[in-house]
Structure 1
């Protein structure tokens, strides 16, 4: 299968003017190039406000999105992508608005600490602390604490996988669902394609590259042994049993495709109700571009539909079976 010309042209446009991510890359330069000055405008919601939660190294910035005023709704704690180096509340503002408006949920976006200034485990420490705070303050936030999910893309997908593991092992908070969008789940998997062929097959010309993955990993992981810590590589957790139902969304032309789908299979093998959706003609970073590109619309629809279904009586009672589908 090949990219459609529409998607090929879109990727090429995204790459124009963006610095190469290689051994000479600078986090500061990349952040400046990725600044949200021309950010995509997401849909209107009833309330957007900035908050803070106490964290292990100080206050953690948050942003809350409510789809309707003065109503209690399910909640989603969202973790942005960016290789643990890039991204913030503004970079994923439109994604959080899409989720809140279309899924009818209260979204709380987390501005966790970034590498290289704050290497592993700063990000999962902040993610877990923020999720606990949201759960403890659910009433004030208009969230039903029994219907709290976590979600994230790329690096944020990793954090959304790690938080339920920590919550299971540390007596809460209760997580009803996890939505993992092209997550990085194995920092120790190498990049030569022996373990995950998509890392080699899709390692160049599809926005996220093998060289970029290597650079991001070096910024985030200070000690080689940390690559095997489940907080960096959730697929390496001793057990995946007892976790909440999951969506794992992957993309055809993403180097992380195979490890995401491997994690979905591991979840299902551990008895976790899991749905895997692969977006045909999709690439890493596609979420949020739905107003421009049809496969991005399919990705957004899959995520929103999964979150809406996650809070139905059927899903809450754990009756969803493991399944796999491809969105064409």
Structure 2
């Protein structure tokens, strides 16, 4: 969006932002509104790591935290396992971190995964997928699909119950989780996804919703940020298509366009002050229409990123605990 067009859009006043998030947004605005796309890529990655460390939850104790090596063509992935208890055969949750497919790693989301494992009772496996632009689409998705195959193939030695499987992620990680859940060809044979937990996911990469037009300034993630992430994730010339002429790849980029939506139980968090707000709401509505059990929390006065800032934004902590309860209810109590 041009600078002239940005000036035509009314900035969301601080008084309209939720009280528990207002100080962080005010500090961001007063510091010059330097976002991901405004600095070199290496700096954006380092800033994101520092921000998650400064604003995230404390790292909860888990009985098991260990890294596994998963071979994929041309590389070896790290998959980090979190368990509340060292014994038992818990359900498994594959977690994909956010960061626009470009930034973020296991460390930026370590506290989140620890909390999910402790509060849900499931074994959580976080994927350190390769990042764009060094590894553009479909490599991050392929890495997550490979991690899921590894998890299912090694369920016996890992001592997890993959008949009670959940997929989870925030932002771009929510996109990867949703694509896996909605694309049968990417799932291991006879694999059934029981639960999706998606925090403000990217579900429509076309970026044509009203919330993209509304959130263009005043927040760390804006429409311009999303365009920057998308341009790094996709190779030049990649077609996003539309619903009239979907290509083979459209649902692999935009799970909202999946021809047959997953009927897995869905927990979805969307935030009103987020360019991704409308597509998150649309994804939840489509899941309801498909007959899935859906728990959708929409926070009209919060912005993108409250889960990675849950140490400073209490609503983020509450939503993360509620998501863990959803996993516990869905994967443990309804088995």
Query: Quick check: 1:214 aligned with 2:235?
Result: no
Greater relative CO, 1 or 2 (CA 8 Å, sep 6+): 2
Aligned with 2:215 (options 202, 205, 208): 202
Q: How does 1:100-249 map to 2 (within 5 A)?
A: 100-167=117-184, 171-190=189-208, 196-228=209-241, 229-240=250-261, 242-249=262-269
| CA offsets 1:27-74 (integer angstroms, 9 cap, x no match) | 212112223598243210101111111224421111111110122111
Q: Answer yes or no: is the 8 Å Cα contact 1:246–1:272 preserved in 2.
A: yes
- d(CA) in 1 for partners of 2:126, 2:50: 16
Q: Answer yes or no: is the 8 Å Cα contact 1:182–1:248 preserved in 2.
A: yes
The aligned residue for residue 20 of structure 1 is 35
The gaps in structure 2 that reach 5 residues or longer are 1-14, 242-249
TM-score (normalizing by structure 1): 0.86
Query: Quick check: 1:90 aligned with 2:107?
Result: yes
CA RMSD of aligned residues (A): 2.3
- d(CA) in 2 for partners of 1:99, 1:42: 11
Change (3 A) 1:218 1:37: closer
Q: Answer yes or no: is the 8 Å Cα contact 2:196–2:265 preserved in 1.
A: yes
The aligned residue for residue 293 of structure 2 is 273
The Cα of 1:3 is off from its aligned counterpart by 0.8
Q: Answer yes or no: is the 8 Å Cα contact 1:54–1:130 preserved in 2.
A: no
The aligned residue for residue 301 of structure 1 is 321
The gaps in structure 1 that reach 5 residues or longer are 191-195, 317-328
| CA offsets 1:202-258 (integer angstroms, 9 cap, x no match) | 332132111111111110111444434211111112221x53221121112221111
- d(CA) in 2 for partners of 1:295, 1:34: 20
Query: Quick check: 1:44 aligned with 2:32?
Result: no
- d(CA) in 2 for partners of 1:18, 1:167: 41
| CA offsets 1:155-177 (integer angstroms, 9 cap, x no match) | 00001101122346653432211
Query: Quick check: 1:254 aligned with 2:254?
Result: no
- d(CA) in 1 for partners of 2:235, 2:308: 31
- d(CA) in 1 for partners of 2:299, 2:234: 29
SS of the aligned residue for 1:252 comes to strand
Change (3 A) 1:38 1:200: closer
Query: Quick check: 1:30 aligned with 2:59?
Result: no
Change (3 A) 1:288 1:296: same
SS of the aligned residue for 2:118 comes to helix
TM-score (normalizing by structure 2): 0.85
